[in-house]
Structure 1
Amino acid sequence: MREEKAASQFKEMWHMLIQNKAAVVGMIIIIVLILIAIFGKYIQPYDPNVGELSQSLQAPSKAHILGTDEQGRDIFSRIIDGTKISLRVGIMAVAFALSIGTVLGAVAGYYGKKIDMIIMRFMDIILAFPSMLLAIAFMAALGRGIDKAIIAISIVTIPEYARIVRGSILSIKESEFVQAARVIGNSDASIIFKHILPNVISPIVVRATLGISSAILDTAALGFLGLGVQPPAAEWGSMLGSGRTYFFNAPHIVVFPGIAITITVIAFNLFGDGLRDALDPKLRN
């Protein structure tokens, strides 16, 4: 009976999601980006990290459809290769932040009192600093590189998930089904992870989807400042950073990576907004 109800709710959610044209467009773009990230190496016309200085700063042409950069590397190949890096950082940073934030928020909301105060005050301290400034500080301490960027971006976004989970748990932890679980002797861990969290999954999923776009933007910002993915790896933000010097002579070096970032961020935002509406039971009804 419970499985049939869950299947029915999923069908309703999916039906509402595909009725949202903007969300469908975002979902299609995301699927295409994932396919590019997986199979991109088979469609790259050139090695993204190897160029010829004699071919530098060439405008878009038949040989190089998006032109070449200051080192003669094919921009189209580098943008394709950068898709893999940007999605990897975005998804892994959100996964790490979501895992830690969910546990901290669940513990704070369920137990309350001193535990809640200690955890949430620590979260407030992190939120008191601008996220990008704090990420830069962590990068300065940890060093440069893609793995360091994932850690830095995830740490600064943990409080967002912790606050969402805590607020959701506070609203339902005194519900009848939670009280019944306590009466029959379920442990606190079982109540939190088996009975409470499944009922607050909707806002978490929506925030995680939107959080990927934010993480991709943060990755691009760190790369632009020279703190993220290091050369010769192709990352959209670092492509912007290295190409800004040649903007007036060869604007395509900056324009095309910027378009890639914009399209990706908009796609995740459109899909996240549609998912939020589809998961809202009031709108479904």
Structure 2
Amino acid sequence: MYADIELNTNVNEKKTRYKLFKNVLNMLIKNKAALIGLIIIFLLIIVALFGKFFMPYDPYVGELSQSLQAPSAAHIFGTDEQGRDILSRIIDGTKISLRVGVTSVAVALSIGTVIGSIAGYYGGKIDMLLMRIMDIILAFPSLLLAIAFMSVLGRGIDKAVIAISIVTIPEYARIVRGCILTVKENEYVQAARVIGNKDSTIIFKHILPNVMSPIIVRATLGISTAILETSSLGFLGLGVQPPLAEWGSMLGAGRGYFYNAPHIVLFPGIAITITVLAFNLFGDGLRDALDPKLRK
């Protein structure tokens, strides 16, 4: 009998998720801003994966005799202080920015989900202890705390991922905890306990799949925040190090030439702006699409 109940529950959950996915997709298509953001994100992914086929020049080889050239037919975005083609470096920097942004969010989301699930499901002293630790991390500005971690860990892409992940874990932990607190006493959770499911099975199979909407939205918006923080660390000389073509480090290296050759900082700044805007537009549209009131 319990097996039949669980089977019917799983079938109903699959039907509900499919219907939800269909409704969300329709809402995203109707939302022009979200659709534009999604198209830009798709193009950025294409550039990150196949950028080497679009680069007109080697992004790490330059000629000093060609340094600080203004945009022209030969160099559409001009050249930097070492004579390297800026367009090629921006294309190459796309995969670095997306890699750090997506990886740091994935790590923070994974750890934050575990912490928030344990705190929300078990409650009591465990909840209090874990949330107080999260509160301590949240008490510091995220960028300032990331700079502190980079000072300890050192410089580089992997270190930037670790630093940004650590400072964003509390956000996901609190969201997951709040979601679990709202549904852990529902009937389907009680039924899962009655039929003898383990706590881990109840959390990750029955509870989390039903509260993923706000988590997915926050993760999407979190990518733009991670890219901004990566660029900020690179601008300060603490993140991805030269000669790697990271947009923030390009801004930092070109700020001394702003008055003589403003294109050096203009185009990397535009790349950061467009990327962050795309994820924000898509995240806002996804939030609206996952809102039950708006779907109705």
Which range, TM-score by smaller chain?
Answer: over 0.9
Aligned pairs for 1:1-285 within 5 A: 1-2=11-12, 3-285=14-296
Q: Secondary structure at the match of 1:144?
A: coil
Matched to 2:197, the amino acid is N
Partner Cα distance (2:155, 2:18) in 1: 45
The residue identity in structure 2 corresponding to 1:224 is F
Per mean C-alpha deviation after superposition, the further-off stretch among 174-183 and 200-209 is 174-183
Q: Distance in 1 between matches of 2:258 and 2:60?
A: 21
The aligned amino acid for 2:24 is M
SS at 1:95 equivalent: helix
Distance 1:6 1:119 in 2: 31
Mean CA deviation greater in 176-185 or 233-242: 176-185
Q: CA deviation at 1:5?
A: 3.3
Q: What is the number of residues matched between the two proteins?
A: 285
The verdict on how the C-alpha distance between 1:5 and 1:200 changes in structure 2, with shifts beyond 3 A counting, is: closer
In the alignment, structure 2 segments of 5+ residues that lack a partner are: 1-10
Q: Distance in 2 between matches of 1:105 and 1:6?
A: 23
* Distance (Å, rounded) in 1 between the aligned partners of 2:22 and 2:198: 33
User: Shift in Å at residue 9 of structure 1?
Assistant: 2.0
CA deviation digits over 1:238-273, x for unaligned, max 9? 000000000000000000000000000000000000
Please tell me the root mean square deviation across aligned C-alpha atoms, in Å: 0.7
Any idea what SS the aligned residue of 1:29 has? helix
Q: For residues 5 and 204 of structure 1, what CA distance do their matches in structure 2 show? A: 18
Moved more, 116-125 or 183-192: 183-192
Code of the aligned partner of 1:37 = A
CA distance in 1, matches of 2:36, 2:72: 29
Amino acid at match of 2:52: K
- Distance in structure 2 (CA, Å) of the matches to 1:244 and 1:252: 10
Q: Which amino acid aligns with 1:116?
A: D
**1:270 aligned partner, one-letter code:** L
Shift of 1:190: 0.8
**CA displacement at 1:185 relative to structure 2:** 1.0
- The two structures have a TM-score, normalised by structure 2, of 0.95
Distance 2:20 2:217 in 1: 16
CA 1:5/1:196 → structure 2, altered by over 3 Å: closer, same or farther? closer
Paired with 1:203 and 1:85, the residues of 2 have a C-alpha distance of 27
1:215 CA displacement: 0.2
In 2, the alpha carbon distance for the partners of 1:150 and 1:33 equals 20
Shift of 1:6: 2.6
Q: For 1:160-207, what per-residue CA distance to the aligned partner results, in whole angstroms no more than 9, with x for missing partners?
A: 000000001011111111111111111111111111101110001000
Does the residue aligned with 2:90 lie in a helix, a strand or coil? helix
Q: Deviations over 1:141-160 (max 9, x none)?
A: 10000000000000000000
**Structure 2 counterpart of 1:86, which letter?**
S
Code of the residue aligned with 2:103 in structure 1: it is M
Shift of 1:7: 2.0
Q: How far is 1:19 from its partner?
A: 0.3
Q: Aligned partners of 1:4 and 1:195: how far apart in 2?
A: 14
